[in-house]
Structure 1
Amino acid sequence: MASSAQLPLLEVPVPDSELDRCLTALDRFLGLLGFRQHSLLSATASWLAFFLLAVALPLSVIEFSRCDGCDKYEIETFEVQITVSQAVVAAVSLLCLSRNLRKYGVRKALFVDRCHGHTAQFRKLYIQKIRGFYYMLATWFGVCFLLKAAREVARLIFINHGSWWLSTVLFLASLISWSYATLVFLSGCALFNLAGNLLIIHFENYGKILERDLDVSVYIEEHMSLTHDLSKISHRFRIFLLLEFLFITASQFMALLQTTENQGIINIVNAGDFAVLSIVQLVGMVLFLSAAAKMSHRAISLGSIASRWHALVTCNSNDVSGSGILDNGGNTESCPPVGSLPAALSESDLESSDYMPLAASLQPVSSTSSYNRRQAFVVYVQSNTGGFTIFGWMVDRILINTIFFIHLSLVFFVLGKTVTITIR
């Protein structure tokens, strides 16, 4: 009777309802920005709102901002290109992410259903990561909003439209348009970052799975599931990352050309939006590139974790032939216990993205057959590291460093063609 009375309590766990509330709130937040396009009506309304707020409204502000004596600022020439760049990267974010949410839903798009709600630890970590999504988005948006507001105030002071009420309306309209387009862009980048962080939870948990006294086939199956999920997230987001990267790169070089080729006065009034746009786009690029690189290095690090697990289990085995322990005149020099092996890692290594701790509760196995199966498992993991790829190109530190130096070379090339120093 006592056991039957406790069954209803186990059917509705509290962490599940809390996670469901977090996902529902996230879905509603994305729906307010237009990412939830589950029907033709909602898709039409979303893109109509995007056209009005991200395209028509800023172009109207530019049109009504014309005034006598403002030619020296060249505001119209700069701001049209800034509006186009801002709208394009936001449209890519809205198009790609709304397609994923419409096709898979918010739970499957974020790989929340992977553990099927059976592990309370995952649910708690999921909630922490989702709340971190709001904190990260609010932090970066708040910083960029302050910069944008400061630039608009400077423009309001230096450019007189003849009417304070018209200047105030243009000021508010410009902030509303910029806030919407920036939120759409940064939300898309932060959502991909969230999906990567949720998947990384399972990569970090893989070391704990190795603690259990399970068959090697279970470890292989779990590794295959992890690499399969990583392959799916690469397939779903590769177009988004590629298009955003290309358009952000083109936008940055366009801004560099416009400011260096210009023969007039460059100040915060006419070119301040170039700085704000560059900061917003670079923040978005850092968000999705860091998440992609972190997933790749988590996947690569599984090889070292598996080999370390194999070495520790073998050294703690009592079987001489299976563990490889040498017999020296009847005295066996065994390996130290699992928990006493020194890590030999610096503080910076402990904080790196590819470090995963391996706990000490490992069960020794004493058979040559088990040793061979563990060895085959290690070879399999090291041969199938995987990683986040974009059409075959793995996004890792090497690729990011290559991109950085290519961009740096192009920047110096543009500066060499546009900036000249006259020596008398």
Structure 2
Amino acid sequence: MEKPSSEQGSREHLIHPEFPPSRFPFLSVVLWFDQSNNPGTALLSWSVFFLLVVGVPIISHFVLVCSDCDFHHRRPYDAVVQLSLSIFAGISFVSLSYWSRKFGMRRFLFLDKLLDVSDKVRIEYEAEIQRSKKRLMIFVLPSLTLEATYRIWWYISGSNQIPYLINPLLSNIIACTLQLSSWLYRNAIFITVCILYQITCHLQILRLNDFARCFASEITDVGVALAEHQKIRRNLRIVSHRFRRFILLSLILVTGTQFMALLTTTRASVAVNIYEVGELALCSLSLVTGVFICLRSATKITHKAQSVTSLAAKWNVCATVDSFENLHDGETPTASNVESQISTCRNEMDPSDDEEGEGDDELDNTKIHPVYANTISYQKRQALVTYLENNKAGITVYGFLVDRSWLHTIFGIELALLLWLLNKTIVNIP
């Protein structure tokens, strides 16, 4: 009895030997926040967090506020910027710390469950993790580049107005480096959690795609298909439960910070120009982007799950309508019967109309190969379709299903607030 389990353990070790970060470059970034094993790493991680998320923003705001500077170098919105970034970085860091201590990053990313999936799903999932570091750079580096450009200009052009300690050049270099490090750290940790959410959602999308392929072939056991769908639903509940607080807090706080920014910039007594509001607009753009990553990943799963239900209903219709009613008991279907069955079910698919419409899901265009009527009974097919229709999979936030209408509403609100803020910024460029 112990031999199979030892063989399975050795197989798991061969697939994911000790979860090496070098295999997945993005995870080396995530493991920097991992506090599950080494207390020294946890102490260092928290120390850096308090330095860059709490210490540097407070010192920067109160020491370098530069209230006596000219209007190009005043920072009236610095409190809103620093508070917004620090709040989201704090939520992200606490969430990562909790997940790493409770689950460990290997289990958190379902890497220990890859033995239960097909080779195609495992390969595509690992490829998605490999691409995540590039995705992180795409979202973080433009923001850092613009912030670095502004900061360097601010220190160079206002060197005779900015407060300093002992040596002005050295003081400005250290202050600029710490501020840029703080900006990078706070943006990166928030976007990192959003990408982690995207990764875990992508695995479930791959499993749904793999599950949907069974309807394009001959299904002989409804119980196997039912068990696989239940596994997927369970994983989706786990993902929803782990991220629900982070998603809800992000939605509430990003909307709150947007309103706070707009109320501040629309005051009649406050001047608005690109030098003063540019950093606030850049901060808002980064936060809205992170929230959009999470919501888009969640809605993709919900849409995919709905496509699977539609595909199952189509499969049931094809198998039912094209049943061999003219066959006697025990009679073997002939080639003409089979050809008639397949052509009848595919008559809506014109070969000249293979081009997919814009925005179509690939599951909607899956070609169905109807099963023989005596392979699987109508009652079993109908039971499976009924189960899928009444047990829809998807990402939820405290019971609310995140679908496209949810995304459109929230994104419309956030985009309106962001565009309003950008309009206040851009139209006042001197």
Shorter-chain TM-score category? 0.7 to 0.9
- Amino acid in structure 1 at the alignment position of 2:209: E
Distance 1:203 1:277, change over 3 A: same
Cα distance, 1:166 vs. partner?
2.7
Partner of 1:327: none
CA contact (8 A) 2:220 2:375 kept: no
Counterpart CA distance in 1 for 2:360 and 2:12 is: 35
Cα distance, 1:91 vs. partner?
0.9
- Amino acid in structure 2 at the alignment position of 1:171: C
Counterpart CA distance in 2 for 1:283 and 1:177 is: 19
Which one of 275, 279, 286 corresponds to residue 285 of structure 2?
279
- Structure 2 unpaired stretches of 5+: 1-6, 162-167, 329-336, 425-430
Which one of 154, 159, 172 corresponds to residue 167 of structure 1?
172
Counterpart CA distance in 1 for 2:46 and 2:242 is: 21
Per-residue CA deviations over 1:86-109 (Å, capped at 9, x if unaligned) read: 010011111123322322222332
Cα distance, 1:261 vs. partner?
1.1
- Amino acid in structure 2 at the alignment position of 1:252: Q
Cα distance, 1:71 vs. partner?
6.0
Cα distance, 1:209 vs. partner?
2.7
Task: Tell which deviates more after alignment, 309-318 or 89-98.
Answer: 309-318
Partner of 1:236: 242
Partner of 1:294: 300
Cα distance, 1:229 vs. partner?
1.1
Which one of 378, 384, 393 corresponds to residue 400 of structure 2?
393
Per-residue CA deviations over 1:272-327 (Å, capped at 9, x if unaligned) read: 210110111011011101011111111222210111222333355434589xxxxx
Per-residue CA deviations over 1:222-268 (Å, capped at 9, x if unaligned) read: 11111111111111110010011111111111111111115243233
CA contact (8 A) 2:89 2:187 kept: yes
Counterpart CA distance in 2 for 1:354 and 1:293 is: 16
Cα distance, 1:404 vs. partner?
4.1
Cα distance, 1:410 vs. partner?
7.6
Partner of 2:30: 30
Counterpart CA distance in 1 for 2:226 and 2:218 is: 14
- TM-score, normalised to structure 2's length? 0.81
- Amino acid in structure 1 at the alignment position of 2:280: F
Counterpart CA distance in 1 for 2:394 and 2:367 is: 24
Counterpart CA distance in 1 for 2:37 and 2:88 is: 22
Per the alignment, in what secondary structure is the counterpart of residue 336 of structure 1?
helix
Cα distance, 1:141 vs. partner?
0.8
1:255 aligns with 2:264: no
Partner of 1:50: 49
CA contact (8 A) 2:305 2:394 kept: yes
Counterpart CA distance in 2 for 1:313 and 1:15 is: 42
Task: Tell which deviates more after alignment, 111-120 or 163-172.
Answer: 111-120
- TM-score, normalised to structure 1's length? 0.82
Cα distance, 1:193 vs. partner?
0.8
CA contact (8 A) 1:196 1:292 kept: yes
Task: Tell which deviates more after alignment, 382-391 or 60-69.
Answer: 60-69
Counterpart CA distance in 2 for 1:353 and 1:144 is: 32
Which one of 281, 295, 307 corresponds to residue 313 of structure 2?
307
Task: Tell which deviates more after alignment, 50-59 or 95-104.
Answer: 95-104
Partner of 1:328: none
Cα distance, 1:157 vs. partner?
4.0
Identity %: 26
1:266 aligns with 2:275: no
CA contact (8 A) 2:24 2:129 kept: no
Per the alignment, in what secondary structure is the counterpart of residue 309 of structure 1?
helix
1:367 aligns with 2:374: yes
Counterpart CA distance in 2 for 1:408 and 1:401 is: 10
Cα distance, 1:366 vs. partner?
2.2
Partner of 1:200: 205
Partner of 1:178: 183
Partner of 1:246: 252
Distance 1:337 1:38, change over 3 A: farther
- Amino acid in structure 2 at the alignment position of 1:377: L
Task: Tell which deviates more after alignment, 89-98 or 39-48.
Answer: 39-48
- Count of residues in correspondence between the two structures: 399
